[in-house]
Structure 1
Amino acid sequence: MNLILLGPPGAGKGTQAKLLEERRGLKQLSTGDMLRAAIAEASALGREVEAIMARGDLVPDEIVVGIIGERIQAPDCARGFILDGFPRNVAQAQALDEMLDEHGLGLDAVIELGVDDQILISRIEKRASETVGGPRADDNVEALRKRLSVYTEQTAPVAEYYRDSGKLKTVDGMAPVDEVSRQIDLVLNKAA
């Protein structure tokens, strides 16, 4: 089973991906981890990625999709994979679909964790006020507002792209973790 988890920062995608790994034996794939692994391997592609990142540039979509294409062939992805944080825009979603098609694969589900931005902001404010020693540098309302803005502008259209293809299912990301997991399982059971 191959799936994408969508939702803004703080929606719980990482938490749900880890739970899906445990329950279903799927592999959570992080593009950041894959890029770092390519660099560590010092392959031709890894050296190219390292040079791009050293310049402070974003790694082009075709390279990221190519790395994902290689990674999904690994034995630990045999039962399926979870993409969390990718695709970030419609062009990446289209490139991902093309690459999966070339590999004879597809997406079984695209699950959006629906959340209320204002409640996310309130959660961050509460967590920041309760954190002993102060919050992390990026764990503040201003940083979250910026990340939410970027998500709304660039990534939210990905949900529409998958909605138009009939693959998108939305669950209540504001529910308790166990309830969100139950809703995701219902979606995946219907997709299986």
Structure 2
Amino acid sequence: MSNGLAVKGRSAEHPVAADWKPDLRGNLYEINEYLEEQGVYDIFDYLLKDLMVKQPENPLKHMLACLEKGYPTGPLKVIVSSPPGLGRGEFARSLAERFGLIYVGAGELLREASVDTKNLSSAADDEVAKLVLELIKQAEHKMQGFVLDGFPRNPCQTTYLKEKSIVPTHVLQLQASEKYIQRRQESLLKGDVKGEAAATPEVLDARLKLFIAHNALALEDYADRTFVVNAEANAAEVLAQMEKAVCLRPRSKAPSPPPRVAIFGAEGSPAADCARKLAMRIGAVFVSSQKLLKDLATPGAEDSTVSLALACAAEKDPLGIVGARLRQVDCQRQGWVADLSKDAECLSQDEMLMPRRVVTFGAGSDRIKEVLHGPGAVSRRDRVATEGGGSSCPPVSVRHVLRSPVTRCLEVSVDATAEEAFKAIVEFVERPLPRPH
């Protein structure tokens, strides 16, 4: 340098200030959050698996081609299964059109091959598999996803998929009662419902028995990616359930951080009870801010959760007794579920204690979201409103705010029962989040 003087901040020998130290923990936190937000672990997981399966001559060119297709974690590969007589083919075809996927219908392929599909023993497993796998091979060559309708129906057919390293991303099981299926068949015979040709009662009964005997075994290896769809709803609702399930991404391959869930509720709401039950369910530490403050004000109580060491730590902690408790070793290792009856100011002041999930009960939720996320966090642009949410969700008014990549908010209606509220919270905390649009 021209003046011969070292510039501060360029090296450890010449820091910005004499007492300056790098915030290694904070930097690591930001790095982890960035990797999780961008789905880096999932991208590499998909690329490595695809390389191992296909073993291309030019791995780098192949990986670039995969990423250029717009599927950073791989194309959708959906299996649609159901008992006979529910009009599964129409739903599967509509789903394929909705997401730009190739429709692979086992029954349609057999009919095109002039195989009689009306009889129970319509085709051998190897014959069906040959037709299905050829179309899947074409889809994979184009790096395009697919919807597989009516295959596999038994464990033998599942083996053909495994031999070709074909693993579905989602399995949708349409479910309905036997009485509903019989009523629908009667409507088809009368012409009241449009759809595939109705089967005779004897053939339908035999097909149902075959489905019950083989279907569960055929799909048991995919239990972790199986979604149940209520097929007794009207057609629009059934398709909406299927689309919602397909939009759910699999759980991240990133190192799973300890859960941090904050539940806010006014006095009289089921917030405290839900927080306690949730902590037990996910193996986290239950923390009640109201109980901590009460114990701190009445030292020496028999059931006090505040030790002398914790009380001393609370005096030095900028967030008080709640911050000191959440920093203890058990909370850091196991994660925590906190029942916070007051505002969210304390959590917004320390990024290391920022919750990954926030649940609010009714009044005051917008204020809490604004504190945790900053101004504009509750604008209409950032909201996705849903009512009920299909057969797997309770009839609770839920609003997700996905502004931050880390913290997500769920608002539960004050009219919800304790059972409905807990069911909604469990699904919000445990299920994978919707795929970003």
TM-score by length of 2: 0.34
In structure 2, give the amino acid aligned to 1:189. Answer: C
Q: Which residue of 2 aligns with 1:114?
A: 175
- State the Cα deviation string for residues 10-43 of structure 1 (Å, max 9, x = none): 2231111121122111111123444566x69xxx
1:144 CA displacement:
1.5
User: Structure 1 residues 57 and 175 mapped into 2: Cα distance closer, same or farther (>3 Å)?
Assistant: closer
Specify which structure has the higher proportion of helix. 1
1:8 CA displacement:
0.5
Q: How does 1:51-130 map to 2 (within 5 A)?
A: 58-61=123-126, 64-74=128-138, 78-99=143-164, 101=165, 105-128=166-189, 130=190
1:95 CA displacement:
2.5
Alpha-carbon contact 2:85-2:198 (below 8 Å) kept? no
1:140 CA displacement:
3.0
1:176 CA displacement:
0.9
CA distance in 2, matches of 1:8, 1:28: 19
Q: How does 1:17-28 map to 2 (within 5 A)?
A: 17-28=92-103
User: Structure 1 residues 138 and 178 mapped into 2: Cα distance closer, same or farther (>3 Å)?
Assistant: closer
Give me the identity figure in percent.
29
CA distance in 1, matches of 2:169, 2:106: 19
Alpha-carbon contact 1:110-1:169 (below 8 Å) kept? yes
- State the Cα deviation string for residues 96-134 of structure 1 (Å, max 9, x = none): 1231x2xxx531101100111111112222332x239xx
CA distance in 2, matches of 1:26, 1:173: 22
CA distance in 2, matches of 1:4, 1:25: 15
Alpha-carbon contact 1:111-1:171 (below 8 Å) kept? yes
2:218 to 158, 166, 170: 158
Determine whether 1:183 maps to 2:241. yes
User: Structure 1 residues 23 and 138 mapped into 2: Cα distance closer, same or farther (>3 Å)?
Assistant: closer
Alpha-carbon contact 2:103-2:146 (below 8 Å) kept? yes
Alpha-carbon contact 1:90-1:161 (below 8 Å) kept? no
Indicate the SS of the match to 2:147. strand
CA distance in 2, matches of 1:156, 1:75: 27
CA distance in 2, matches of 1:57, 1:179: 32
Corresponding residue pairs, total: 166
Determine whether 1:9 maps to 2:73. no
Alpha-carbon contact 2:92-2:149 (below 8 Å) kept? yes
Alpha-carbon contact 1:6-1:159 (below 8 Å) kept? no
User: Structure 1 residues 158 and 36 mapped into 2: Cα distance closer, same or farther (>3 Å)?
Assistant: same
Alpha-carbon contact 1:125-1:140 (below 8 Å) kept? no
Q: Which residue of 2 aligns with 1:53?
A: none
Indicate the SS of the match to 1:73. helix
CA distance in 2, matches of 1:138, 1:88: 20
CA distance in 1, matches of 2:245, 2:188: 31
CA distance in 1, matches of 2:78, 2:213: 22
Structure 2 alignment gaps of length 5 or more = 1-75, 116-120, 250-434
CA distance in 2, matches of 1:137, 1:19: 19
Indicate the SS of the match to 1:112. strand
1:188 CA displacement:
0.8
Indicate the SS of the match to 2:148. strand
Q: Which residue of 2 aligns with 1:46?
A: none
Q: Which residue of 2 aligns with 1:169?
A: 227
Indicate the SS of the match to 1:180. helix
Alpha-carbon contact 1:5-1:83 (below 8 Å) kept? yes
1:87 CA displacement:
0.5
CA distance in 2, matches of 1:124, 1:73: 35
1:184 CA displacement:
0.9
CA distance in 1, matches of 2:170, 2:244: 11
Alpha-carbon contact 2:102-2:139 (below 8 Å) kept? no
Q: How does 1:142-157 map to 2 (within 5 A)?
A: 142-157=202-217
